[in-house]
Structure 1
Amino acid sequence: MMATRSPYGLGALAMLLTGRDLRILEDLERFRLLDTRLVQRLQFPSGPGGQHVSKSSATRTAVRVLTRLEGHGFIARVGRRVGGAGHGSSQTVWQLAASGERLLRARRGQDGRRRYVDPSTTFLAHTLDVARYAATLYETARTTGFEVLELQAEPESWRPFQAAHGGAITLKPDLYLVTADAESETHSFIEIDRDTEHLPAVLRKCRLYQQYRQSGAEQAARDLFPIVVWVTPDEGRARRIRAAIDGDQTLDPELFITATADGSLPVVAPYSSTQPKGGIS
């Protein structure tokens, strides 16, 4: 479906947007790609603590809102879908369109524009997995009472620093998280692993995290260094990464946790009452 061109200017269109509309645009800017189900989970929550009684009614409302935003040219459909649970419109993948990006930039007083291209299948699948992890964290926070104080996705999560030899390096976590309850905070770097990287590549990324810790840049800014959590698709992969880290004499094993998505939640939000459904290594 092609987005229709509106005869109204950007400022006039902005007047038609609700607060939730703007939050959807901001989510698309932050996560880069979201399918309809993810938009529903983030902005049209259902079940305990949610705004909708059922997931189906929440999804129908989300589809109507997304179709309206598409019609105004704020968002656009990506030219491919990713298989998995769910059918039809729930698997439609969305990204910001030019008008949506210009509106968000104008609200921040920024110039420039971002060039959008059709993503590769690998990039799309990984990007959606990162967003799914974030959606799960927000849902858990809503039902168990902790707060997500900060959630940075790429490229906001990136950390440029000077290596010991003087060269400039950029560490690129998938997510940076700060969660909290009334008494404490937890800071985490998240790597969403899809079991597509060979273990030597995983270890190289671990060494980069260790280099970044040794630089002192994060500690200077935050007074601490976050735990690094490798979130894996299954417990077997978590054990293999754990064994590789423990077997590398150059790494500090206490810096890293490997776990499934469910198993990682008590690490990144240890005040949650949710018990891990998967293993932690």
Structure 2
Amino acid sequence: MVRDWYLDSFRDLRLFPEIKDPNDETEFTQMIKAIKVRHNNVVPMMALGVQQLKKGLDPNVDYEALDEIHEFLDRFYMSRIGIRMLIGQHVELQNPNPPPHCVGCIHTKMSPLEVARDASEDARSVCFREYGSAPDIDIYGDPNFTFPYVPAHLHLMVFELVKNSLRAVQERYLDSDKVAPPVRIIVADGIEDVTIKVSDEGGGIRRSGLPKIFTYLYSTAKNPLDEHDDLGTADTATMAGYGYGIPISRLYARYFGGDLQIISMEGYGTDAYLHLSRLGDSQEPLP
């Protein structure tokens, strides 16, 4: 199914006549906008494919041994991030009333604190929907600090990290009389990097499990795709289960020369460090 979407999009692009005037340009923009929408559900659809693949695999197989699958998916998703970035940028540049301080999708004065706050609220509302309550989130950093970045990318990464932390804390304190400790977000402004640290006291991850969290074939939660096979509604975020949030967030970070590291203390909690490069000198890491 995913392959067919790509074939359709490739065909649409190839058959589009040469652009000669602003009207053609407007039509072209509408066409690539439609292509972007067509591919909205690629990630859950691929997750479904990987789940089906997993069912056919020996349950004792070592997931890290499946390097070929992981390398393919890394390349595939990195390429998807790049294509969507280019389409999004082109479409936004045609917008007659761009938001202030924006060049296409790039916000030249983005406040990481503000984006982290929005993403955290979104993650909390998903947690509320799933569990009926959600731990507090404390955010630390300079509210006046801004730097150029793509807010949508940062929102996605912080949302995934905070959602994981909320789930860990919520499940650890579900049957406890104690008040669940807050998830802490710290935004640090360095010379080379802006680093966002997401800290929780959700019990941590075993050291043996740490390498698995960056693979696409592993999730500690039950898979939501088995329950909701209608992918038309795949935009509603689930709390967990695709096993994709962390590896894809790392690709988004790496796309602009950053990275994502996760350090865990089993029995206590986990710290995720999201590094965003602010030098603006990194090449697009094409697969």
TM range (shorter): under 0.3
TM-score (norm 1): 0.26
TM-score (norm 2): 0.26
Which structure is richer in relative contact order (CA contacts within 8 A, separation 6 or more)?
A: 2
